[in-house]
Amino acid sequence: MRLPYAEPLTVIDAGPAVVPEPPRRGEPGGPPCGICADDAPTVWSDELWTLHPPRGCSLPGTVWLASREHADSFADLSPAAAEDFGRVAAKVERAVLGWGDFARVHLYRWGDGGAHFHVWFLPRPLGMLDAQGMMLPLWEDVLPNVTDDELLAAARGVAGLLADD
């Protein structure tokens, strides 16, 4: 693993706490939920889940999975969605690995941008050892983005493998 930045890095102090925190997308007082508004192209879906390509990303094969229900986190999912998550996550991982020349698929769940449950599947390219572990999202951020059309085509390729599963 290696940071995608030149050393030495300088540690900075964290900013002051902001309490209460500003509302996120999909929360009262915040912007509308983009997932509920169907702003993102859907490449695959079933009764509980939808799968989407990212925008502005450097790793073709990256996809994000969202719950159909407007739930904020794992703890807020309906029992049916919570029970089904492992099954569908495994299907998505197998499809991503089957689509490209990847060593691993990393699963990330960040909840700071929006209040609708979604998880990211980021593929680590085979042989890109600098991007192992927690370094993958850092490298993804600094590598040159591919076009959104390429990301959509890759996500459709992943979705095609999901349909075969």
Separation CA 49–CA 68 (nearest Å): 5
- The pLDDT of residue 165: 63
**Backbone region of residue 31 per phi and psi (left: phi > 0; alpha: psi in -120 to 50; beta: other values):** beta
Residuewise pLDDT in 10s, the chain (165 residues): 888 988 888 999 999 999 999 999 999 999 999 888 877 899 999 999 999 999 999 999 999 999 999 999 999 999 999 999 999 999 999 999 999 999 999 999 988 988 899 999 999 999 999 999 999 999 999 999 999 999 999 999 999 999 766
Q: Are 1 and 130 in contact (CB under 8 A)?
A: yes
Tokens of 43: 């490449």
Separation CA 41–CA 37 (nearest Å): 11
Q: Which candidate, 122, 121, 123, 126, places its Cα nearest to that of 101?
A: 126
Mind listing the pLDDT tens digit for each residue in 6-31? Answer: 888 899 999 999 999 999 999 999 99
> What is 89-140 written as a DSSP string?
HHHHHHHHHHHSSEEEEEEE---SSBSS-EEEEEEEETT-GGG-GGGHHHHH
- The pLDDT of residue 161: 96
Separation CA 132–CA 139 (nearest Å): 10
Separation CA 149–CA 22 (nearest Å): 33
